[in-house]
Every structure is written in C-alpha cells, then in structure tokens.
C-alpha cells in the first residue's frame, strides 16, 4: 500500500457499544497527541487482492478444518493491534490452545509510543498467525466508516456542519461528502470541536449549497471508503496474511459501510454492538453482534452471558482493547477459564463464518 494516498493527520477516536454502556478504541487526541475532551472512545498464507465473490467463499476453503460450533462457541476479537495483544492476550490464549482474531490498523503497524501505546510489528503479527490467530482489517487509519445525519441546517456560506456524531472530525485532511440524496458536495475536514450549538466538522471552504437537518448526511465518499477498506486488505495481504474479515472502528457500521465492505470482505465483526449473542442457524456475518468482555461490564455479567451461550448454543463474539489498564492477561485468562468450564468452542471470526455458512441466514 502506498503511504502517499493515506498521509493524513491522525486526530483521535471515539465510539459506541458495550454491554449496556458506551465504548470506543482510544481516547480522543489532538493532532499533537494531547488529550482532547471526547468519548472514550490471520492466518498467514496466499491470498488475492480481489474482493470475495460471494458469501460462500469461506465455506469452500479448507472445509475439513472448520471447527464445529454445535453446543455453543465464542470468538474473541481484539481491537487495533497494540503490543498488549502480543504480550498479554497471546500468552493467555496459548495456555488454552484457543485462537483469536486481531483487528489491525495498517498505518499503526510497528509504531512506537504513538497515542501513548506501542503497536505490534509484522513479526508479532506473524507469531499470532502461527499460533492460529486471524489477522483482520481495522482500516488503514482507524476511521469511522458510517454516515452521520446532520442535526442542524446548513447554509451555502457555512464552513461547519453539525452531525449527530463527530467521529469524522478526529482525522483531518480527508474529504467528506455532504449529501441529501439530490445535492452533494465534497469538502476537506480541517478542524473539529464543539461550540454552543454542538459538535461540528469544519471544512476548507464554504458548502456552496443549503442542506436540511434530518434529510442530510455527511460521510466519506465512495472512493475514500475504498481506500480505507481496499488498501488495508491489500497491505495486510502483501505482508503474507490471509484477510477475509473487517472490524469496524468505533463500532460504526451501517448500510453504506456494508455495501462497500462486501467487495472486499466476508463479514464485519461488530455491525450490531451491544450484545454478544448470534444465532448460528440464521447468522449473517454482515449483521454480527459483538460486545466487550472486560471493559464496561462486570465478571458476573460476563459469566451470565457465557451461561446463555452454552444453554442456547449461540455464537458469542467478544471484544477487548488490550491497551486498557483493566484488560490484563489475568482477566483474559479468567474469561478463557469460564469458556472452558462451559465446554464452549473457541474459534476465529473467520471460522465462525465458515462454520455457519450454508445456514439460512
């Protein structure tokens, strides 16, 4: 992947989704790395740069190696690719011979002391893959992929718009499309903050058109979305990893996201955050439910959720940000013990899709 096409200034992140609470990936940052007020937020092998041909692609590959999820299963999906995935999560999973999936932001691979965190280098990802882990795309630069509705009218002379969430303001230098389905303009984000009206995106020039709140969205244009999704997959595959799935930053994935992601991936691990439970009989990998198993919850709540997975024989998709202080090797190991006690299969997200392919989803 050429760095030239993705050289933008990383500003920060935020997000939503958790067991009953909100979550994200990392705290919002200013462009120089200072804290900003905001929400807290693969297996190596040959692969093709082409997108998947249909939803059954994974089912046809290595079908003899697909684990059974009858009786209930869980997939652990870790966010962002920090060194803690390698230093804390990997040792815990090795003890239980349990795989996991890691969502990797390609522009962060190998970076040190970036956002107060060190990020896994290629050799660490290779060791994960050798241990049976899946390497997933988490986009090129950790950008929110969905569209956000405007909550304030916008006039032709305005250089600011006020969306329902300002996730697209955490990365400056990208073009945003403002559209009501009839009129559309593209403007570059140069600033984002909050004022007496609310959170805003600020552009490099006035809109030049009027847009009504409730009838207008702001989103990344289609070509920019292809950059985030296609270049991330291509970069990871060029490093020797098989990449079939996507983890959406900030737990933001809507129809706009899914329509474009289908060209590259066989599923998205967190389209419907807030619950871990997925019915294997009707599982749609582009409607996946995922929730956090250490952050924003309690041990009792997680054990109750795992009881439900076992009793109802569901597919539980669990997430965590291992750079967070509370997400320790001990807590991960404890959760894996609970999974083992309930005799649940541990699978990668890729294998969860393979195991459920052919069901009436």
Kindly report the CATH number assigned to the domain that includes residue 327. Answer: 3.20.20.370
**Are 195 and 329 members of one domain?**
no
> Do 345 and 265 share a structural domain?
yes
- Could you give the number of structural domains in the chain? 2
Do 104 and 171 lie in a common domain?
Answer: no
Q: What is the per-residue pLDDT for 25?
A: 55
Domain boundary among 197, 219, 241: 219
**Same domain? 160 vs 284:** no
Task: Judge if 286 and 311 occupy the same domain.
Answer: yes
Shared domain for 207 and 265, answered yes or no, is: no
The predicted-structure confidence for 120-134, as pLDDT tens digits, reads as follows: 999 999 999 999 999
Q: How far apart are CA 184 and CA 218, in angstroms?
A: 10
Q: Compute how many other C-beta atoms are within 10 angstroms of the C-beta atom of residue 280.
A: 18
Do the beta carbons of residue 84 and residue 327 sit within 8 Å?
yes
Query: Would you give the distance in Å from CA 64 to the centre of its chain?
Result: 29
**146-158 pLDDT, tens per residue?**
999 999 999 999 9
pTM of the model: 0.84
Predicted pLDDT of residue 360: 52
Q: What is the span of the domain harbouring residue 297?
A: 4-47+73-143+223-356
Per-residue pLDDT band for 20 (boundaries 50, 70, 90) equals very low
Domain shared by 253 and 292, yes or no: yes
Question: Looking at the DSSP assignment, which residues form a beta bridge with residue 175?
Answer: 188
Element (H, E) at 285: none
The pLDDT > 70 percentage for the chain reads 81
CB 273 within 8 A of CB 20: no
Nearest to 41 by CA among 123, 115, 92, 100: 115
**Does residue 67 form part of some domain?**
no
Predicted confidence (pLDDT) per residue in 189-222, tens digit: 999 999 999 999 999 999 999 999 999 999 999 9
């991936």: which residue's tokens? 265
Measure the CA–CA gap between 201 and 291, rounded to whole angstroms: 29
Domain-terminating residue out of 196, 219, 242: 219
Q: Are residues 159 and 278 in the same domain?
A: no
Q: Tokens in use for 172?
A: 């400056």
DSSP string, 174-222: -EEEEE-SS-EEEEEEEEEEE-SS-EEEEESS---S-B-TTT-EEE--H
Residues 37 and 180 placed together within one structural domain of the fold? no
Indicate whether 136 belongs to any domain: yes
The pLDDT tens digits for 155-171 are 999 999 999 999 999 99
Q: Are 349 and 136 in contact (CB under 8 A)?
A: yes
Domain-located, residue 59: no
Is there a domain that residue 208 lies in?
Answer: yes
In this predicted structure, what is the pLDDT of residue 144? Answer: 97
Indicate whether 204 and 241 sit together in one domain: no
Q: Tokens 């609470």 belong to which residue?
A: 21
Q: In terms of domains, do 101 and 243 share one?
A: yes
Statement: residue 251 has pLDDT above 80: yes
- Which of 219, 249, 270 is the C-terminal boundary of a domain? 219
Q: Are residues 171 and 272 in the same domain?
A: no
pLDDT band at 241 (very low <50, low <70, confident <90, very high): very high
What is the structure's pLDDT at 67? 84
Give CA–CA dist 191/204, Å, rounded.
9
CA 218-3-11 angle, 5° bins: 45
Ramachandran quadrant class, 287 (left: phi over 0; alpha: psi -120 to 50; beta: rest): alpha
Three-class SS state of 189: strand
pLDDT at 33: 33
């Amino acid at each position: 992947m050429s760095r030239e096409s993705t050289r933008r200034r990383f500003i920060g992140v935020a997000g939503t989704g958790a067991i009953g609470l909100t979550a994200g990936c990392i705290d919002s940052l200013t462009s120089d790395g200072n804290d900003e007020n905001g929400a807290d937020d693969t297996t190596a092998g040959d692969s093709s740069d082409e997108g998947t041909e249909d939803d059954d692609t994974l089912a046809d590959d290595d079908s003899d190696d697909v684990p059974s999820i009858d009786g209930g299963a869980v997939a652990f999906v870790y966010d962002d690719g920090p060194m803690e995935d390698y230093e804390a999560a990997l040792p815990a999973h090795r003890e239980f011979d349990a795989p996991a999936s890691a969502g990797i932001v390609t522009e962060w691979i190998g970076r040190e002391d970036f956002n107060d965190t060190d990020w896994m280098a290629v050799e660490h990802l290779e060791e994960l893959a050798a241990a049976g882990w899946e390497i997933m795309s988490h986009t090129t630069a950790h950008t929110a992929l969905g569209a956000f509705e405007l909550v304030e009218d916008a006039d032709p002379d305005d250089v600011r718009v006020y969306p329902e969430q300002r996730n697209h303001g955490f990365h400056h230098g990208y073009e945003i499309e403002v559209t009501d389905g009839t009129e559309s303009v593209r403007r570059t984000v140069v600033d984002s903050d909050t004022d007496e009206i609310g959170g805003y995106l600020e552009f490099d020039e006035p809109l030049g058109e009027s847009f009504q709140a409730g009838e207008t969205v702001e989103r990344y244009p289609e070509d920019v979305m292809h950059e985030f999704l296609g270049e991330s997959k291509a970069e990871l595959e060029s490093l020797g990893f098989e990449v079939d799935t996507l983890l959406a930053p900030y737990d933001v994935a809507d129809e706009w996201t899914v329509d474009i992601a289908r060209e590259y991936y066989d599923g998205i691990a967190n389209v419907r955050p807030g619950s871990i439970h997925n019915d294997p009989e009707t599982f749609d990998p582009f409607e996946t439910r995922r929730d956090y198993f250490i952050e924003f919850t309690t041990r009792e709540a997680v054990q109750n959720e795992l009881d439900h997975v076992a009793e109802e024989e569901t597919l539980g998709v669990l997430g965590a940000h291992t750079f967070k202080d509370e997400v320790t090797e001990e807590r991960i190991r404890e959760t894996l013990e609970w999974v083992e006690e309930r005799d649940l299969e541990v699978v990668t997200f890729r294998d969860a899709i393979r195991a459920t392919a052919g069901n009436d989803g």
